[in-house]
Structures are given as C-alpha cells and as structure tokens.
Chain A
Amino acid sequence: MGELLRVEGLKVAVEGKEILKGLDLQINAGETHVIMGSNGAGKSTLFNAVMGNPKYVVTAGKIYFEGRDITEEPVNERAKSGIFMAFQAPISVQGITVENFIRNAKGTITGQSQRIMPFRKKLRQQMDQLSMDRSYAERYVNDGFSGGERKKAEILQMCMLEPKLTMLDEIDSGLDVDAVRIVSETVAQYHNETNSILVITHHSEILQKLKPDFVHILINGKIVKTGDASLIQEIEANGYDAFKELAR
C-alpha cells in the first residue's frame, strides 16, 4: 500500500501559542486512522495544519502528501491533490447554492467543467443516500442549516469531490443516532483501498462502522501511543489519565 500522508516532527503554533509539539504520523492508502485525545490536545490543530489553514503556523517539521512536501502549499492546492477536511463548524456561504458550490469545486479540483445533468444525477443519488432532502441542493451553502444538516452537507461534499484523504473533525457531534448511522455508513461505503480516512471523535458509535486500523492518542501536542482498535475500549474504560504520563 502506498504512502498517502506523512507528518514529520510537526510543530504548529496558533496566535503565537505552540499547540503541536513535534508530531509524527503516517497514513497509507486504504487505511482508517482515529485520533483521540482530550479537548485542547491539538487534534483540530493537526487537521487544520494538514489542510493548510494560514492561522495555524507550522514552526517546524514537514507534511508530505504522496511523497511530495506540501508544507508550504496553499490550501486549495492541497484540496486539488486530494485532501479533504469535514469542518467541525462549517461556515455558511450566502448566495451560493449547494449544487453550484460543489459543481464549481469539483470542476476546479478535476480541471474539467462538470456537465449539469450527470452531475445533478450523482448529487441526487448521494443526497438520497444521506437522507438529505433534495431541496437542499438549491439552498445556500449551510445557510440556515441545523447542526446535523451541516454535517451531512460536509459528507455530501466528500462524496462528490472524491478525495484521497478525508479528515473528519467530530463529524458525529450534534447528530442523532440515525444520522450517525447514515453518516458512518456513507463514509464506510466511500472508503476503499485507494483512499484513507482520518477521524477525530469523542464517541465510539461512528467507529463501529468505520473499523479503524490504527488509533492514535494525542496528548499535549504529541502522539503518545498508537495501537489498534482495542485502544478505544481502553480509553472508554479508563479515560486519558493513564496516558498522560506518557506525555511527560
């Protein structure tokens, strides 16, 4: 399996404060990884740094995607190479419909303009699968959407943009049981041996469907332990306290 993402000695600061303090991580095609850790440990910071949010300043270390150093690349170039982040709190975009937005994004990422009818057909299929009312395609991006609708709209974008690496930042927060099931099934179905999933979550429900290959525990800006899915039960039972010593 080919290497997709490699993070080496990554240090990241936000507004002058160091959050990630030397983080290493490798994700190969076809794998599913989970990052766990208490609030403020740096999970979202890692995602934003990989995606290339300019507010998150890389002070040391490198980020490689498919072997290419992307540390200095702007966010849209990373999106074009196949990195996707489902935001924890997606913003709304007045005046731009969901369909128009995704079609434009898809056209930009693939470099090929998307013909309306085939695109719409696929969009509708995906919306049906996500139990999203089709009328959402005509609504402005996330405008007036509930928390759950926003999350589904993020997954809809993932399905349509077909990234190689998908980062899900608490995609399950604010979702009811049915929605968690639908979202995790959709992600699981999308997942195959050529793409990878990286998940941040505080809940284990979503992981039952996603079947992680690796679980990383992030404490105080560093990955302190990596294991298989059994680590999840360990955390559920004992919390993060047991791992805090590893961070010293």
Chain B
Amino acid sequence: MADEKKAAKERETIDSFTDFGNMYNFKKKFSYSYKTEAGLTPDIVREISEKKHEPKWMLDFRLKSLDLFYKIEYPNWAPDISGLDMDNIVTYVRPNTHMKASWDDIPDDIKDTFDRLGIPEAEKTSLAGVGAQYDSEVVYHSIQDELVQQGVIYTDFDSALEKYEDIVKAHFMKLVPPTDHKFAALHGAVWSGGSYVYVPEGVDVSIPLQSYFRLNAPGAGQFEHTMIIVEKGAKVHFIEGCSAPKYNVANLHAGCVELFIGDDASLTYSTIENWSKNMYNLNTKRAIVGKNGTINWVTGSFGSHTSCLYPMSILQGEGAHCEFTGVTFAGKGQYLDTGSKVVHNAPHTTSNINSKSISKSGGVCIYRGSVIINPKAEGAKANVSCESLMLDEISQSDTIPAIIVKNDNIDLGHEAKIGRISDEAVFYLMSRGLSEDEARAMLVRGFVEPVSKALPLEYAVEMNNLINLELKGSLK
C-alpha cells in the first residue's frame, strides 16, 4: 500500500513536469510560394521535378522510386504508423523565398524563426558553415571563405545537383537505394532540399558545419537529402538540428543521409532531433567507411510522435571504425524506436555502440540494433552497451539487439541493463542537500553524460536544456 502511494506520488511529480518543446513550439503563419496537392501520384512527382528544373535521369529515378513505394510493404516489426495518412501529406512546400547567402535578405518571418532557434548567433561564434532549410527548400547557406579556398564545398542539394551533377549522380541513393524500404522509396520519389558537403583530401575542417531543418507547414512532409563526401585523410564535424511547431495533423519526415568516408578520413555526425510530437520521423542514415576511416555518430532524440531511426555504418575498409553514442528520451505519447546498425566487412574493423534511453509518462523507448560480423572481418571487435532508464511504471522500454557472428577471430561484447533510478542514489544526493527533483534530474543528466560530452559545448547545453525542460526542477 505504502509502495503504491509512493509510486503514485512519484508519477505525480514526474507528470507535473512541463511538456518540453515550448521553446521550439512557436508557429509561423503558413505562407508559401508553391506547394503540391496533398497525396502522392506520378503527376505530383513530375511537378516537383519540373519546378526544380531537374535532369531527366533524376525524374526517371523519382518515378521508379514512387513505383517501389507502392510495392514495398511496411515492415511487420516496426511501430504503428496508422496515424499517418499518406494521402494527406503534402510532399513539397516551397517557402516564400529563394536561397540567400545573407540573413538580411531572408523574409522576416523565416529569419525570425531561425533567430529564435539561435542559428545566426551560433554561426557567428562557433560554426564554419551553416545551412538552413525551411519546409522543403534550403533558404540560407554560407561557408567560411577560408574553407572554400581549400576546396571544401558546402551547399544546398539542388545547387549541388546543378553544379556537380556527375559526382551527385554517382553517389545519389547508392548507399540507401530506394529498394531498401518503403520510406527510402518515398524519399527517392519526392526528396527536396538538404545539404551537400565535399571535403577534399587531407583537409581538416576544424570548426563544425551545421544544417538546420525546420518544418513549419502543417500536414507536410520533409524529405531532405544530405550527402557528405570526406576524401582521404580529411576530417569534418557535421551537425544536424531539426524542429517543428506542433500541429494537430501528422507531419512526416523521411530524409536520407548518405555519408562516404574515405581512407584515413573521419566524420563526426551529430544530431539533436527535436521534432514536434505530431511528427513521424522515418529517417534513414547510412555511412560507408574506408580503410582506417572513422564514423562517429552522436545523436540525441527527444522529439517526434513516432521514430524509426537506425543509423547504419558499413565498415568496408580494413581498420575502419564506428563509434555510436546516442540518447533517446520518450515522454507521453511518444514511441521512439531507435538504435544503430553496424556491418563489419573488413579485417580489424572495430565498432563501439553506446546507447541510453529514458522513458517517462507512458513514453515508449525501443533500442533496436544489429551487429553483423562477416566472414572477411577477421580480428573485428564490436562492443554494444544499452542502458534503459524507466522513470515510472506506466512507461515502456524494450531492448531488441541482434548479433550475427560469422567468423571466429573476433571479439564481441554486449551488455544491456534496464532499471530505474536507485533509491540509494537519490538518498545519497539528498543527503547532500538536493531536493528529490533535483537529485533525480542530476542522476538523469549523469545518465546521459556520455552523449553531452561527445557534443560541442553549445549543443551539450541545448541538450541539457531539453532534459531540464523535460524534468522540471533542474538545478538552480
């Protein structure tokens, strides 16, 4: 009885924490210069392609992908997406501006959005390049001159298709083919916007680049395509931020990220995802890594109604390395099915997956992962660690990893833990003067520390703010 009371009290405390996202949940009057009708037909796909003045091969690619989208079934293991009515998703919304290289040239309401998200400010202080997408198109792009001189390219995807058609054609949806799954096919059909990054051999881009994706139009989809090519020995850190105001209709995000990392090259790909809670985030990210190259994923997933997101690393060259550090935080009404996939295809490849999840107020967190060590990957090492924190007894947390080992000369370790914040830890902190809420918030922050540590300071602060908003009663 006493236990029940205590549990009810705990739930009350946690429930009373405000729903976070207020700082992202401001709406702008929905204005646009062009948008497609809701739904999905070959005519709509033709229309998008035509408006963008694309080459024919791209139109053909889109139509072929659309065909696949109709044919491929939605997987049986994946979360319920019946709330998503494809006939009502607007696939293309062109904002009221063309791409600009100066914030001053951007219409006030759009600029105000990015101001409030702190993008221009961050650009001044800590970024080497910025891209900003509003609905379906990129409205702002800039990069430091110094990097341009070194041959670094950072531009919106439409410009890339125009200026670097051959290289785009050679890479576009080669890592994530439209046959991969239903929403990859959809992406192939209706993609628009996104960023293109090219870092030439040996160039070290020491300051991060950031693209920010804002979806303002209600009932719309965002399908941006991000392609990053890091040549031999080059190094870059790319940050992706996403948010949207909350509407009562479902929004869909089915972006696609393709990362090509050369020999001895290194890419850090950081994401703070804070889509609004009407968002279906069915995103696909994949990297292929050359000899002694490194992909380093850092991801914080806080938003969305439903997420399916499993960044995949294909370790193709000898000694290639993958590091994955992720935290997922599901609150009321959220179903976040996230994780990481690694394929070891070459000798002495190594991977290290570190995943944390927090479930509260009925939220559902699922870690779904895979590690495959193929016969060629002799001397491969893989390590997977999953920790799940349950903040109350009405939430849910599942761990669904799968590991396939096909050669003997490997070293594999996997650990998973599920539990709640220990009463002993709360008491210990309270004995040092912290209130119960403060103690819990501190323990939750400690729990996600590996992720905040891996982020640049400003983003670690942003992530901590998100957690503090989620767990009101943060430290003074």
**B475 sits at the interface (CB 8 A):** yes
Interface-facing stretch out of A90-98, A120-128, A178-186, A224-232? A90-98
Nearest B residue (CB) for A87: B428
Residues of A within 8 A of B447 (CB): 94-95
**B445 sits at the interface (CB 8 A):** yes
What residues make up the interface of A, taking CB atoms closer than 8 Å to B? 51-55, 74-76, 78-80, 84-85, 87, 90-91, 93-96, 101, 104-105, 107-109, 113, 140, 157, 161
Q: Measured between C-beta atoms, what is the minimum distance from A46 to chain B in Å?
A: 15
Distance, CA A133 to CA B450, complexed state (A)? 23
Nearest A residue (CB) for B387: A94
CB-CB under 8 A for A108 and B427, given A93-B443, A94-B449: no
Distance, CA A108 to CA B428, complexed state (A)? 14
Residues of A within 8 A of B442 (CB): 93, 96, 101, 104
Q: Contact at B449–A96, with CB atoms within 8 Å?
A: yes
**B158 sits at the interface (CB 8 A):** no
Residue from A52, A74, A91, A113 within 8 A of B425 (CB atoms)? A91
Q: Measured between C-beta atoms, what is the minimum distance from B436 to chain A in Å?
A: 7
Q: Contact at A75–B438, with CB atoms within 8 Å?
A: no
Known A54-B427, A79-B434, A108-B433; further 14 A-B contacts with Cβ < 8 A = A51-B431, A54-B423, A76-B431, A76-B432, A76-B438, A78-B431, A87-B431, A93-B428, A94-B446, A95-B446, A95-B448, A96-B445, A109-B433, A161-B433
Distance, CA A211 to CA B475, complexed state (A)? 39
Q: Interface digits, B419-463 against A, CB 8 Å rule (1 contact, 0 not)? A: 000111101111111111011001101111110000000000000
Nearest B residue (CB) for A76: B430
Residues of B within 8 A of A54 (CB): 423, 427
The 8 closest A-B pairs by CB, nearest first: A95-B446, A95-B449, A79-B433, A109-B433, A105-B432, A76-B430, A96-B446, A75-B430
Q: Contact at B431–A85, with CB atoms within 8 Å?
A: yes
Q: Contact at B430–A91, with CB atoms within 8 Å?
A: no
In residues 388-439 of chain B, which contact A (Cβ within 8 Å)? 422-425, 427-436, 438-439
Q: Measured between C-beta atoms, what is the minimum distance from B4 to chain A in Å?
A: 16
What residues make up the interface of B, taking CB atoms closer than 8 Å to A? 422-425, 427-436, 438-439, 442-443, 445-450, 475-476
Q: Contact at B430–A79, with CB atoms within 8 Å?
A: yes
Q: Contact at A104–B443, with CB atoms within 8 Å?
A: no
Residues of A within 8 A of B434 (CB): 76, 79, 104-105, 108
Residues of B within 8 A of A79 (CB): 430-434
Distance, CA A245 to CA B93, complexed state (A)? 88
List 8 contacting pairs A-B, 8 Å CB cutoff, sorted by A.
A75-B427, A75-B431, A90-B428, A91-B422, A96-B442, A96-B446, A107-B476, A113-B476
Q: Contact at B430–A108, with CB atoms within 8 Å?
A: no
Nearest B residue (CB) for A86: B431
Residues of A within 8 A of B433 (CB): 76, 79-80, 105, 108-109, 161
Q: Contact at B445–A91, with CB atoms within 8 Å?
A: no
Q: Contact at B448–A53, with CB atoms within 8 Å?
A: no
**Which of B424, B431, B447 neighbours the largest number of chain A CB atoms within 10 Å of its CB?**
B431
